Amino acid sequence: MTKLEKTNDILNILDKLYPNPEVPLQHKDAYTLLISVLLSAQCTDERVNKITPSLFKLADNPYDMMKYSVEEIREIIKPCGLSPMKSKGIAGLSKILVEKYNGQVPQTFEELEELPAVGHKTASVVMTQWFGKSAFPVDTHIHRLAYRWGLTNGKNVEQTEKDLKRLIPESKWNKVHLQIIYFGREYCPARGHDWRVCPICKKYMRNSLR
């Protein structure tokens, strides 16, 4: 079986399990999605969804967020981890959005990635999930699963993104990104993984991991 045939088989499994995956982070617009994705770095979506209602009750747009200091923002988002960096990022990008973009989230990778604390993965999520642009966000979890399934050599997330984009039709990138996230949580965790009950790994996992 070729790698492309394996990929198509995996996509069929994902489609059967998650035919209509939804964005797991609660949001109402591009700004709240951007902030939520930023907060999700090294933090679970579940925890982020518990914190953002309190944050967005105070400020759900860059104009209101600018009214609060970095320290005030940090106190609210502490449970998400990396709060010093994230709070500075939220305050800094909110100021830039107001001063440079009239309070709107820009719609290009270049402009998004110039914002404080916004990397390629965060920009990719906003671009595909809100603006509907072609992107395949790859975080450490998707990188781990793609390597486990033999779809990439596992060198780094950048290489994994290139490999997945080459194997998966562009029209499916948005959906497959979400499907892999849900599949990883339910069947293919980093710890305590039982390949014998995983619908994909029991067929394709590397022998060295069995």
Between the CA of residue 161 and those of 19, 62, 151, 167, what are the distances in Å?
Answer: 22, 31, 10, 10
Which residues are the active-site residues?
A: 121, 139
Local structure of 115: helix, strand or coil: coil
Closest CA to 32 of 66, 1, 57: 57
Q: At 121, which CATH number?
A: 1.10.340.30
Q: What's the total number of domains in the chain?
A: 2
Q: Which parts of the chain have pLDDT scores under 70?
A: 205-210
Same domain membership, residue 42 and residue 16: no
> Quick one: 8 and 61 in the same domain?
no
Q: Tell me how many degrees the CA angle 190-210-8 measures, rounded to the nearest 5.
A: 75
Q: Are residues 123 and 173 in the same domain?
A: no
Burial group, residue 34, by CB count within 10 angstroms (0-12, 13-18, 19+): buried
Which one of 74, 102, 129 terminates a domain? 129
Task: Give the pLDDT score at 54.
Answer: 96
CATH number of residue 201's parent domain: 1.10.1670.10
CA distance 126 to 35: 10
Per-residue pLDDT, 203? 84
Are residues 168 and 122 part of one domain? no
- Predicted local confidence at residue 210, as pLDDT: 42
The verdict on 163 and 90 lying in the same domain is no
Q: Could you tell me the residue range of the domain that residue 78 belongs to?
A: 30-129
Same domain, 113 and 140: no
